[in-house]
Structure 1
Amino acid sequence: MGMVGKTDGSAPVETHAVTPVATRAQRRPLLLVVSVLLVLLGAAGGALAWMSIGTAVDAVVARTPIQRGQVLSADDFVVVQVNPDPQLQMIPPGQIPSLVGQRASHDVAAGGLVPTSVAAQEVLPPAGETVIGLSLAPGFYPAMDLLVGDQVRVVMVEPIYACAAGAPAATDSAAVPASSGCLDGQLTVPGVVVSVSMDSASSQLFLAVQVKQAAAATAASAAALGKAAVVLDTRER
């Protein structure tokens, strides 16, 4: 307490000093509970992550899409770590060499787990069948992509050449045996696509087609003369 005098000559005024009072910290129990819960959740998440890493196993997945019927190579696969699951069919990385050179029994999407049933235990071509190679210019094959396993027909666009290729002594379709497939002035040979590739510069399509052995010479000879085209039959099964 003190006395303060006024400059105008009036009586001094008594003043009181104000002492600051310390404010009591307010507690926020809800914020404290939330903080504790966040800490616990973080710890639990870290523990789960550590446990999942510790129990992960190596598995084989497809590096690129695998098509049914294609020849498998080591470049088709990549090894990743996944959590073990009894419901999953997984191939251990050590079995990759045993898959190389075999044919895929079904499609596998890129990044998909490679199952134990991916490889087909079959030898191509089987008895009574022959694989022929076809080099086709644009216009002699469908505009849509052909896939391994497609049912196709090799169609001879000039029957005289085709029939002559199938039966050298014949000059018309009537003189060619019925087994060659020369009917109504047009020869067709059914087959199955076993490999597909294309020259992007020229759009030349290269096909390997499995056909009956009896018709292989006719189809291959006509194709070599540039007198053959390929048509795609239904993909319905």
Structure 2
Amino acid sequence: MEKDANFRIDIDKAIEAAQSWKVNNDPLGSSWRKELVDLSRRTFEDVRGSEVRLLPQRSESLVSDVGTIVKTLDALRDLLSSDLEMAQSSNTTVSLMCGLALLPGEIFGMIFLLACSGETGEVDLVAVTRLSCVCRHFRDIVHSDSRLWTTITMSSHTTFPSKFLMLCLSRSKDSVLDINASLDITVMESMPRFVEFLNIIAPHCHRWRSFNLTYSIGRLTATTLLTDTKCQ
């Protein structure tokens, strides 16, 4: 049936059709169904009789009623479409969150370690810090997993806060450490920073797995790598 712009929205008729569908498994209902069957059986001989003027009115009335129900349901569907999309999106989000919430902390720790580790196995503390800002649950897991705090890097051109450095050493617990430090002689603050850095990490030298020092004088750069170091 083609949609007619003249069809109006009638919620009562739509409810009547829905109730008939629920009770009789026929949305047209007995009266509309009877009218449809009767009109569909009419022949040319029938319309030549006394009902020649009445039949078009009955037919148009049936089309109007059914069209009104369809238009009402279409309008309802349009109104609910955006709500359905939102409900589906919420369902996906809730399902994922519930699935994550059921994972044990050890699995989360493994996932975080893989996500924050580079090809060399060193952990990116920036990524770790960002993970800890997602939610309280993530923060608790990140702070309690010592493996996420085992890579400590100091740049000669940026300040590595002493409090954060000591926090990393504390959270790494007894895990082995990978230390990366850079020293630029041409930067005035570089040497004092490096000395302060060494003073803080030196007491933990028994845990050093590697110590990578990059030092430069102007354009000249050199790198020294110590592995399996042990402090006497």
TM-score band, normalised by the shorter chain? under 0.3
Choose between structure 1 and 2: higher helix proportion. 2
Higher Cα Rg, which structure:
1
Give me the TM-score of the superposition, normalised by structure 1.
0.26
Give me the TM-score of the superposition, normalised by structure 2.
0.27
1 or 2 for the larger relative contact order (CA 8 Å, sep ≥6)?
Answer: 1
Choose between structure 1 and 2: higher strand proportion. 1
